Structure 1
Amino acid sequence: MLKQLTNTMLALGFSALATTAWAQDYPKPVPLADGAQAPIEAIKPKNEKFRVAYMPPATEFNYYIAIGEGIKAVAAEEGVEVFMLAPQSGADINGQMGMIQDVLTQDVDAIIFGTHDEFAAAPLLKQAVDKGMAVVMINSDIANFPTPIHGVVGYSQRNGTHKLAEWAIETYGSKPLNVGIIEGQPGYHSTERVGGFLDGIKGNENFDVVVSIDGKWNVEGGNTAGMDILQSHPDLDMIFAANDYMIIGASFAAKALGRSDIVLLGNDGDTSGLEEIAAGSVTATVNTSPFLMGKAAMHATIDALNGTYPGGWIETPTSIEDKDGAVRVLQEPEKLFPQPSKQY
């Protein structure tokens, strides 16, 4: 399965660095931190036809639905049963914890999860590991989850936004710029994405971060945050948001205030974000290919259930896409979910 995944990743343009040989042509997972790796040999599937729960932090984010479509595509190919269970809102941490508790009582062989609160989820996922379930984290590069798990699949969040900062310096760094940051809800994802961008512009005297506030990961929160920071800092030149939904919201605020001059930078490569870039409403984003990430996670999970996955982190690649790049990505709709609203 991992050999098939390698060939698929290469055929779809994944970087060679993300598919370093392991054994033969397999991608080589990076070991987790000491004490963070749950033993693969302790996984004990209950069902002849594997049953997998996909548990993202919320259904409000198309990004996680795109990951789920990649998971479902591999499940259909491999004859695996998969179902998705998640609260509507990413802020509903208690709702997600209740759903994980419910899954622990079911005949489930594996959990593929993402969460906005690692410490709340850790005790429940420890129970899943202790019950013999395979536990794989999606859309992350966390090397030391608060409790040992079997695998992590995702891009290097700090490196992705660091590359975006480098792109911003190359493109706009010839003059002084006042920069605003829209963070996600406090947690690992926000810390890494914001930290990568800040590390990337650190030491560049033309980039001055004047404000940083929470946008709650969604369009509405990004709109509120964007309106607040643009009104309180009318001399702002650039906004970086930790995901595409928040920068789309900020773009609505910029439009309402007549600020067509402001540089708007996001992170994800969500279809809606790419379309906003193609339309000129957002400037650029870190494209993280969520559909393909889902496929990688499902292959790793199936191999973990079969005892052939060594554990560790599978890194998926990123690219920086401005208007021209976004259009090129949108011209390959078979790699996207949801589908673009029109043909490019």
Structure 2
Amino acid sequence: MKHIALAAFALALTAAPGSLAIAQDYPAPVPLAQGAQAPIDAIHKADGRLRIAYMPPATEFNYYIAIGEGIKSVAANKNVDVFMLAPQSGADINGQMGMIQDVLTQNVDAIIFGTHDEGAAAPLLKQAVDKGVAVVMINSDIPNFPTPIHGVVGYAQRKGTHKIADWAIAKFAGAPVKVGVIEGQPGYHSTERVGGFLDGIKGAPNFEVVASIDGKWNVEGGNTAAMDLLQAHPEVNLIFAANDYMAIGASYAAKALDRKDLIILGNDGDTSGLEEIAAGTVTATVNTVPFLMGQAAMHATLDALDHKFPGGWVEIPTEIVDGTNVVSVLQKPEKLYPKPSKSY
């Protein structure tokens, strides 16, 4: 059943424009770790029109806006009001915690959330679960959130970045590759994404990691990190960045230093990152289809409110996008947010 559902959802990655309805058939969930699953039958669904809070870590990342657009696209056809509440900066943990506290005082039926600090968010989300609010995490594959929640919707982060490591090994077999890594802020997401890439290149004797530095998840941080890294280690000829924003920042550093030889790999599938690949300034990324992820998260949340979602983790398939297939992805703007800056 799981394999059939995964295959069906994967079709949404390549299906013809206009066939996005298949996204509602989200893959069959995988159980969370023991003790991490909140009881679905304890969710309380209010009568009348539903209110759902979408609470990503920050508004500075278009990635989370794309997830939100996927959520809203489903809500538009249901009896649902969705509102987004998030701090501007992904580093503003206190700001996000204050917003979760505020939402707890409102009459919401569900919270779809992402966070850069699981430990800080857990006590507040426990309060939501205890009140009968459906709580679903997005853009993650964490099997044991610090407090039981109802579901997780995201992609296998280690598997995704391992996949782009395999891509790199196949592209540069035998040639010496000096690797610089740009991490995100310390936390689960950075550990998993960097760990997957490092696991992937571990068996390749021609790959050597010479430096790893925090890029703070954003373009400015990625630019600063890459400048420092490339100036200290000019032998680096490949940079892996844990998200597309830092990869774009690295591309700015490469341009400033006239490093036309530099291979830059990212992760996410942001529209801006995809367009940089089309322009040749970023080499490849792991496309995690955030718009489709948002649709799947919304369908799972609505099913949880109806006690039809079994709980667990819903895995969103990923694909590697490089210069050979990026145009075909950009030619499906209905699956992207923001829309590409031009027609492809």
TM-score range, shorter chain: over 0.9
- The equivalent residue for 1:221 is 221
In structure 2, relative to structure 1, the CA distance for the partners of 1:239 and 1:81 (3 Å cut) is: same
Map 1:132-171 onto structure 2 (within 5 A).
132-171=132-171
CA contact (8 A) 2:293 2:316 kept: yes
Q: Quick check: 155-164 or 166-175, which moved more?
A: 166-175
Q: Quick check: 25-34 or 211-220, which moved more?
A: 25-34
What is the percentage of aligned positions where both structures have the same residue? 75
CA–CA distance in structure 1, aligned partners of residues 129 and 26 of structure 2: 25
Is 1:307 aligned with 2:317? no
CA–CA distance in structure 1, aligned partners of residues 219 and 180 of structure 2: 17
- The equivalent residue for 2:189 is 189
In structure 2, relative to structure 1, the CA distance for the partners of 1:322 and 1:127 (3 Å cut) is: same
CA–CA distance in structure 1, aligned partners of residues 14 and 44 of structure 2: 32
Map 1:232-271 onto structure 2 (within 5 A).
232-271=232-271
Q: CA-to-partner distance for each residue in 1:259-315, whole Å, 9 max, x for gaps?
A: 010100000000000000000000000000000000000000000011111000110
CA–CA distance in structure 2, aligned partners of residues 26 and 215 of structure 1: 33
Per the TM alignment, residue 79 of structure 1 is displaced from its structure 2 partner at its CA by 1.9
Per the TM alignment, residue 326 of structure 1 is displaced from its structure 2 partner at its CA by 1.2
CA RMSD of aligned residues (A): 1.5
Per the TM alignment, residue 173 of structure 1 is displaced from its structure 2 partner at its CA by 2.8
Aligned AA for 2:226?
G
- The equivalent residue for 1:21 is none
Per the TM alignment, residue 46 of structure 1 is displaced from its structure 2 partner at its CA by 3.0
Aligned AA for 1:311?
G
Aligned AA for 2:176?
P
CA–CA distance in structure 1, aligned partners of residues 80 and 9 of structure 2: 21
- The equivalent residue for 2:21 is none
- The equivalent residue for 1:28 is 28
Aligned AA for 1:310?
P
CA contact (8 A) 1:173 1:207 kept: no
In structure 2, relative to structure 1, the CA distance for the partners of 1:199 and 1:69 (3 Å cut) is: same
CA contact (8 A) 2:55 2:112 kept: yes
Map 1:107-126 onto structure 2 (within 5 A).
107-126=107-126
CA contact (8 A) 1:56 1:113 kept: yes
Q: CA-to-partner distance for each residue in 1:150-195, whole Å, 9 max, x for gaps?
A: 0000100000000000000000132111100000000000000000
Count matched residues.
331
Is 1:45 aligned with 2:45? yes
Map 1:49-128 onto structure 2 (within 5 A).
49-128=49-128
In structure 2, relative to structure 1, the CA distance for the partners of 1:14 and 1:52 (3 Å cut) is: farther
What SS does structure 1 have at the residue aligned with 2:49? coil
CA–CA distance in structure 2, aligned partners of residues 183 and 6 of structure 1: 29
CA contact (8 A) 2:59 2:65 kept: yes
CA contact (8 A) 1:300 1:309 kept: yes
In structure 2, relative to structure 1, the CA distance for the partners of 1:6 and 1:50 (3 Å cut) is: farther
CA–CA distance in structure 2, aligned partners of residues 178 and 133 of structure 1: 49
- The equivalent residue for 2:18 is none
CA–CA distance in structure 1, aligned partners of residues 31 and 300 of structure 2: 14
CA–CA distance in structure 1, aligned partners of residues 113 and 119 of structure 2: 14
Give the TM-score, by structure 2 length: 0.94
CA–CA distance in structure 1, aligned partners of residues 198 and 334 of structure 2: 34
Q: CA-to-partner distance for each residue in 1:115-154, whole Å, 9 max, x for gaps?
A: 0000010000000000110000000000110000000001
CA–CA distance in structure 2, aligned partners of residues 236 and 7 of structure 1: 38
- The equivalent residue for 1:19 is none
Per the TM alignment, residue 11 of structure 1 is displaced from its structure 2 partner at its CA by 4.8
CA contact (8 A) 2:26 2:296 kept: no
CA contact (8 A) 2:9 2:27 kept: no
Per the TM alignment, residue 13 of structure 1 is displaced from its structure 2 partner at its CA by 3.5
Map 1:7-18 onto structure 2 (within 5 A).
9=9, 11-13=11-13
Unaligned runs of 5+ in 2: 16-24
CA–CA distance in structure 2, aligned partners of residues 58 and 157 of structure 1: 20
- The equivalent residue for 2:22 is none
Per the TM alignment, residue 108 of structure 1 is displaced from its structure 2 partner at its CA by 0.5
- The equivalent residue for 1:20 is none
What SS does structure 1 have at the residue aligned with 2:337? coil
Aligned AA for 2:232?
S
CA–CA distance in structure 1, aligned partners of residues 313 and 7 of structure 2: 18
Unaligned runs of 5+ in 1: 16-24
CA contact (8 A) 1:53 1:108 kept: yes
CA contact (8 A) 1:66 1:294 kept: yes
CA–CA distance in structure 2, aligned partners of residues 78 and 11 of structure 1: 24
